[in-house]
Chains A and B, each alone.
Chain A
Amino acid sequence: GAGVSQSPSNKVTEKGKDVELRCDPISGHTALYWYRQSLGQGLEFLIYFQGNSAPDKSGLPSDRFSAERTGGSVSTLTIQRTQQEDSAVYLCASSLRPGVTEAFFGQGTRLTVV
């Protein structure tokens, strides 16, 4: 596709339910990032994938959060047993050469836990 695509754009879920957020990066981009932006807050790094290397999971806030990237392309961020503090916009980005070329962001998924 022309840009980074995220789905769904909005998700409302009940506390305690599991959710899956999807990111489809720009074709050929080897690096993929997940960030979280809470209301009125800055961007919080969650996880980074680069090619076939082990992902950098250092930003995941708890073991309820996990992510995978299949075939070096599409990524799914899963949040288990959602809590109200998980409510935020989840942003995905991709880059052709991490640290060298531009990173492009998707439009985000707005998650609301009620």
Chain B
Amino acid sequence: KQEVTQIPAALSVPEGENLVLNCSFTDSAIYNLQWFRQDPGKGLTSLLLIQSSQREQTSGRLNASLDKSSGRSTLYIAASQPGDSATYLCAVPNTGNQFYFGTGTSLTVIP
């Protein structure tokens, strides 16, 4: 069974700082990896989908990288803003029936 781990569990940074969130998975035979953010009391918002054949995917200030062989993905957030404060989740699908989610990183950006 796929196991997904996210480190750190919580992170607090001053506004403007660049930061990296980490996601690791045990089974490297993945189709893709998706990063989400979740605001308190809300659903999940898709941020980036990175296919297994890709090394990187970028959207605005966000950059996701994927290293399948080592079972790792990182989400890089440039020039962090208070509005980035949320919980960030990574997820990998198995053959399609379900997603395996990490436990999330709770990010606080201090103005």
Contacts and interface: CB of A to CB of B under 8 A. Distances in A.
Contacts of B44: 91, 93, 105
Which of B93, B95, B97, B103 lies at the interface centre, i.e. has the most chain A CB atoms within 10 A of its CB?
B97
Interface string B37-76: 0000111111001000000000000000000000000000
A6 B43 CA distance: 10
B101 A31 contact: no
Nearest to A46: B98
Contacts of B103: 42
A5 B91 CA distance: 21
B94 interface: yes
Interface residues of B, number: 24
23 contacts: A33-B99, A42-B102, A42-B103, A42-B104, A43-B99, A43-B101, A45-B99, A50-B97, A59-B98, A91-B43, A93-B44, A98-B97, A99-B93, A99-B96, A101-B49, A102-B34, A102-B49, A103-B93, A104-B46, A105-B36, A105-B43, A105-B45, A107-B43
Interface of B: 31-32, 34, 36, 41-46, 49, 89, 91, 93-99, 101-104
